[in-house]
Amino acid sequence: MKNLCIYVAIFMAFSGLQAQTKREITLDDIFKKNTFRMQFAPAFNVMKDGISYSVLENDKSGSWNINRYDLQTGKLIHAIFQSEKMTEKIAPESYEFSADESQLLITTAGEQIYRHSSKSLAYVIEVATGKTTAISSEKVMYPTLSPDGKKIAWVRDNNLYMAQISDGKEIAITTDGKHNEIINGAVDWVYEEEFSMSRGFEWNSESKFIAFYRFDEHAVKEFSMSLYSGLYPAVESWKYPKAGEDNSKVDVLIYNLETSKTITCNTFSDHDQYLPRIKWTQIPELLSIQKLNRTQNQWEMLFYHALRGKPELILADSAKTYIDISDNLFFIQNTKQFLYTSEKNGYNHIYCFDFGKMTEKQVTTGNFDVNTIQGVDEKKEKIYYTSSEVSATEDHFYEIKFNGKNKRELSKGSGNHRITMGNGNLYYTDMVSSISAPYQFYLCKTGDKWQRALETNHIADSVMHEYNFGTTEFGNFTTDSGANLNYYMMKPANFDASKKYPVLMFVYGGPGVNMVRNSFGGRNYFWHQYLAQKGYIIFCVDNRGTGGRGRDFKHSTYLQLGKLELQDQTLAAKWIGKQPWVDASRIGIWGWSFGGYMSSLCITKSADVFKTAIAVAPVTNWRYYDNIYTERFLRKPQDNPQGYDNNSPINFVSGIKGNYLLIHGTGDDNVHFQNSVEMVNAMIKAGVKFDSEYYPNRNHGIGDRAAQYHLYRRMTEYILDNL
């Protein structure tokens, strides 16, 4: 026993020495030195032969090649195209091949517009000769080759254009486009942000028709913000429909290339509705249009025949709460069937609908949510999808037959798997990570054990092991209200259960969005490790309303956004405060966007529990946010005023007792700076002490390097001084 005690003492001393010799992380490591630089696998396109892929590669001289590589071995086969062939000198930012791979579409000089939209200069290049044709002398949006590779369409100045590549002659499909009035071939701000849309037109499979959106924005009120540069600030204005306000009038039209005529699709309703998706079916002349009512609890699938001009209601669904829109829609070739996902039976599952027989069958079943349909193999009758079947904290990859049989997991190992399938579904890339292990990229053969590492980030991983990082553990607990909640907890590397530690909670908490994920957290992971090194426990909880746990858990916050979320975060703080190694008088919380809204609620309505809160770019009054998002969960303010007012932090500022730091970018086009301005006004009127930091002209992400460093340094100092 005596010898055993000596060995244990020696081991503990050695372990302590190891911890002491490990390096301490600094803010400069995270934000300036790029100490933990992550590498990403190069973007590539699987070629039509199914056994090779192409990569755009540059050299130091400014020349570039598009090279072909063997999928199995990764060895260079040959250069498909070399920039020396070009008749114009262009530095490409993206490229794509035509269907027969005889032509390249190149874009350059990209300029971001909103979250999903951009404009750039675009060129079509003949691979064999290098002949280069500019699409337009001006920057364009969404240049898109037709399926036959002979034509191209694009949007410029709110109008839709096309051209035959052979002659390059521009054809204006629309001419009435005008800023803040009419949009053709693209979508307005709120559709782009809340339905994750960008391009507003689609070629049909035979390249004979183009379906496109038309937005009439006249009824939508303008929102403007000042951009502070130069002697006089510039003013930027755009149409932004806030909760309860009028939307754009949206139509779907079809342009016939043979007749040069355009028809408007009848969607069986007035314009107070949403048309969040269009997609051509497996029948070349048949367009599918998805429709939602304004309340977003009634969904319809319409088919519209481009030649007969006849609309038909194919499928409908309704909910007591709301219906989410996704891209999970696949039309099965040589049949009259399509695959889609729905939460109608309690979890998000795949269904197969036969519009010839008007019958439906459920493909996946179980107490889990399907997240994305990644691909479909019509010949093998297989569906490839990701789901939360293992855990709400991880996505894994599966295949299943159309008939719901022979399901098996294709992803390998624990962690979160982000899948991208290549052309033909023969190969896919798996970006896998865990909460403490950086991204690894693998090229995998579908249905096979074979895989090839594209990037393992072993250098970053080895550097991370040189630092004194604490461990992160996952768990769950049941609150006093009966809700079972998932969490992760990061403790200091030298954690001592006999001591009392302050806790900083990290929150998002918005509908369908999980933060408790076994996936690498990047910048915030390193910053949280920095704070753990300073003696803080980091605690993150997914409250009710978050995703991966079925419809009822996610939709429980309907009409009362913020109420149950606040209750759960408060009870979570009380739960961890009861742990013997926690100082319950030193619990703080921080979050960004919806997370900033949550941290603001916590410091206003649960001030007895939270000592300190930091809110970055928060919604402070739901009446200030856009109507698609807000009304989905709260309906119109005219119909549910209590749901808006009872859970908006701006109405409860008199409850603030602790420390509150409010941060916002003045150029935020998403959650407007107005939210923070009005919050400050309310706190001034209430005589409440607060702290604030504003970032001129920065958008919702406050993303430039200098601002990021300043922001995180400011938050760090605030936590160290006030928690």
Instruction: Please report whether residue 502 resides in a domain.
Output: yes
Whether the pLDDT of residue 11 is over 60: the answer is no
Q: Which of 123, 148, 173 is the last residue of a domain?
A: 148
User: pLDDT at residue 14 above 70?
Assistant: no
Angle formed at CA 196 by CA 520 and CA 336, multiple of 5 degrees = 110
With pLDDT > 90 as the criterion, what percentage of the chain qualifies?
A: 89
Instruction: Judge whether 106 lies within some domain.
Output: yes
Continuous H helices in 327-466:
458-464
Q: Where are the alpha helices (DSSP H) in 578-666?
A: 594-605, 627-634, 641-645
CATH number at residue 534: 3.40.50.1820
DSSP for 656-685, written as a single string: --SEEEEEEETT-SSS-THHHHHHHHHHHH
pLDDT value at residue 4 = 36
**pLDDT tens figures, 104-143:** 999 999 999 998 899 999 999 999 999 999 999 999 999 9
308 found inside a domain: no
10: pLDDT strictly greater than 50: no
Relative to beta strand 209-216, strand 249-256 is antiparallel
Contact present, 218 and 160 (Cβ < 8 Å): no
Sheet with 159-164, strands from edge to edge, namely: 141-145, 151-156, 159-164, 170-172
**Residue 247, both tokens:** 């939307």
Is residue 5 pLDDT above 80, yes or no? no
Evaluate whether residue 615 is within a structural domain: yes
Supply the pLDDT for residue 20. Answer: 54
Question: If DSSP states are collapsed to H, E and C, what string results for 505-537?
Answer: EEECCCCCCCCCCCCCCCHHHHHHHHHHHCCCE
Contact criterion met (CB below 8 Å) for 453 and 73:
no
CA distance 47 to 63: 22
pLDDT given for residue 8 in this prediction: 34
The rounded distance, in Å, linking the Cα atoms of 69 and 72 is 9
Distances (CA, A) of 340 to 372, 373, 550: 10, 8, 17
- How far, in Å, CA of 125 to CA of 128, rounded? 9
Tokens coding 650: 């701006």
Rg for the chain, CA atoms, rounded: 27
User: In the predicted model, what is the mean pLDDT of residues 504-509?
Assistant: 99
> Considering the domain boundaries, does residue 545 fall inside one?
yes
As a whole number, mean pLDDT of residues 477-502 equals: 96
What average pLDDT score do residues 64-85 get?
93
Domain final position from 148, 167, 198: 148
For 232, phi then psi, to 5°, come to: -120, 135
Is residue 616 one of the residues assigned to a domain? yes
Express each pLDDT in 551-569 by its tens digit: 999 999 999 999 999 999 9
DSSP 190-219: HHHHHS---B-EEE-TTSSEEEEEEEE-TT
pLDDT computed for residue 553 by the predictor: 98
Q: Is the model's pLDDT at 147 over the cut of 80?
A: yes
Given a cut of 90, whether residue 315 has pLDDT beyond it is: yes
What residues form DSSP beta bridges with 267? none
235, β-bridge pairs? 226
Lowest mean pLDDT among 103-117, 362-376, 486-500: 103-117
Q: In the predicted model, is pLDDT for residue 15 greater than 80?
A: no
What's residue 722's pLDDT?
99
Q: Is residue 272 part of a domain?
A: no
d(CA 430, CA 412): 9
pLDDT confidence of residue 1: 40
What is the structure's pLDDT at 269? 82
Round the average pLDDT of the chain to a whole number and report it: 95
Of 116, 148, 180, which closes a domain?
Answer: 148
Query: How many Å apart are CA 57 and CA 79, to the nearest integer?
Result: 10
What are the b/e assignments for 87-98, b being 16+ CB within 10 Å? eeebebeebebb
Judged by DSSP in three states, 447 sits in coil
pLDDT in tens, 418-430: 999 988 888 999 9
CB 210 within 8 A of CB 153: yes
Number of structural domains (the chain) is: 2
The mean pLDDT of 682-690, rounded to a whole number, is 98
Q: Cα(332)–Cα(377) distance, rounded to whole angstroms? A: 9
Please report which confidence band the pLDDT of residue 257 belongs to, taking 50, 70 and 90 as the band edges.
very high
Mean pLDDT of 427-455: 94
Averaged pLDDT for residues 66-82: 94
| CA distances, 440 to each of 38, 393, 461, 492 (Å) | 10, 18, 10, 26
The pLDDT of residue 6 is above 70: no
Q: What is the C-alpha to C-alpha distance for residues 470 and 490, in angstroms, rounded to an integer?
A: 6
In DSSP terms, 421 is beta-bridged to: 428
Is 139 within a domain?
yes
Backbone angles phi, psi at 12, to 5 degrees: -65, -40
Range of 104's domain? 43-148
**Which of 22-27's residues contact partners 24+ apart within 8 Å by CB, and which partners?**
22/466, 22/467, 22/468, 22/493, 23/466, 23/467, 23/468, 24/467, 24/468, 24/533, 25/467, 25/468, 25/469, 25/526, 25/529, 25/530, 25/533, 26/530, 27/527, 27/530, 27/709, 27/712, 27/713, 27/716
Is residue 653 pLDDT above 70, yes or no? yes
Rounded to whole angstroms, how far apart are CA atoms 293 and 302? 13
**Mean per-residue pLDDT, 654-676:** 98
In this predicted structure, the answer to whether residue 2 has a pLDDT above a threshold of 60 is no
Where would I find the H helices in 432-498? 458-464
Q: Would you tell me the crossing angle of helices 594-605 and 563-577 to the nearest 10 degrees?
A: 70
Average pLDDT over residues 172-199: 98
